[in-house]
């Protein structure tokens, strides 16, 4: 697609980086707006957004290095691989961990704020996948379907071959999940149900999309690394949903 969008003097604006930046900005602004609506501290949400960016980037990079270690050490273009290489699940785990630590330190209701923030996370992921499309990473299998897309100057995807647009599948799925979660949050108390639903929906969707992807991304047996993690994410989400629902019934 368009790895490099345009240049301003010596500065080149990359499609991937720009969309990641737009995703972060949209996530924080929407999170702060929703904080006002739900009576929570928007400054805390802003701080959490910045921390989530740091923890998410570190987690995504660390998991990428772990899953792609063999490819990285033999890479002929190490800088490019490290610059573009991220694993979304690492970002989710890293973001949740750093927010949990921050919540404990500030004595905040972790589940309450996570229920507020998680739709914004999904929105940020949706923009990030558009960045993947522009860069050509996270590409799909070869196809004869009319929906196939062809890359011509990607450093990652095979060029000149029609591929399934798995980046678009993921982006649309992330935006759809975000919309559903915002609606769902309006029906629930902020007690962990929204983040539970996110874990379930994202885990199932990611497992399915992985079937159609064809980029190197590590394996655990017959499953891709992300499919393997998806199983535990869905199981954790179901267990968490049961726990918060059961606890709520006990309190009534």
Q: Distance between alpha carbon 195 and the CA centroid of its chain, in Å?
A: 14
CA–CA distance, 103 with 123 (Å, rounded to integer): 22
Residue for token pair 């995703």: 23
CA quadruple 235, 242, 35, 107: dihedral sign: negative
- Write phi, then psi, for 149 (nearest 5 degrees): -120, 155
Residue 2 annotated as binding site: no
Secondary element (H or E) of residue 11: strand 11-14
Q: Distance between alpha carbon 156 and the CA centroid of its chain, in Å?
A: 20
Q: Where are the alpha helices (DSSP H) in 138-191?
A: 166-185
Q: Two tokens at 32?
A: 């702060």
Binding residues: 129
């Amino acid at each position: 697609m368009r790895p490099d969008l345009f240049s301003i003097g010596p500065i080149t604006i990359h499609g991937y980086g720009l969309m990641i930046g737009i995703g972060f900005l949209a996530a924080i602004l929407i999170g702060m707006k929703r904080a006002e609506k739900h009576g929570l501290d928007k400054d805390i949400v802003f701080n959490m957004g910045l921390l989530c960016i740091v923890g998410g980037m570190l987690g995504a990079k660390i998991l990428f290095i772990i899953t792609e270690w063999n490819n990285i050490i033999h890479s002929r273009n190490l800088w490019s691989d490290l610059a573009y290489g991220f694993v979304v699940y690492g970002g989710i785990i890293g973001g949740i961990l750093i927010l949990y630590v921050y919540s404990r330190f500030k004595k905040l209701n972790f589940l309450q704020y996570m229920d507020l923030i998680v739709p914004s996370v999904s929105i940020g992921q949706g923009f990030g996948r558009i960045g993947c499309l522009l860069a050509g990473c996270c590409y799909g299998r070869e196809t004869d379907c009319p929906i196939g897309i062809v890359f011509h100057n990607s450093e990652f995807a095979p060029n000149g071959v029609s591929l399934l647009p798995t980046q678009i599948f993921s982006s649309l799925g992330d935006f759809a999940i975000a919309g559903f979660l915002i609606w769902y949050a309006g029906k629930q108390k902020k007690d962990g149900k929204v983040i539970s639903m996110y874990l379930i929906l994202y885990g199932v969707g990611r497992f399915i999309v992985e079937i159609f992807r064809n980029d190197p991304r590590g394996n655990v047996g017959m499953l891709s690394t992300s499919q393997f993690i998806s199983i535990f994410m869905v199981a954790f989400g179901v267990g968490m949903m049961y726990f918060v629902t059961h606890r709520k019934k006990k309190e009534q």
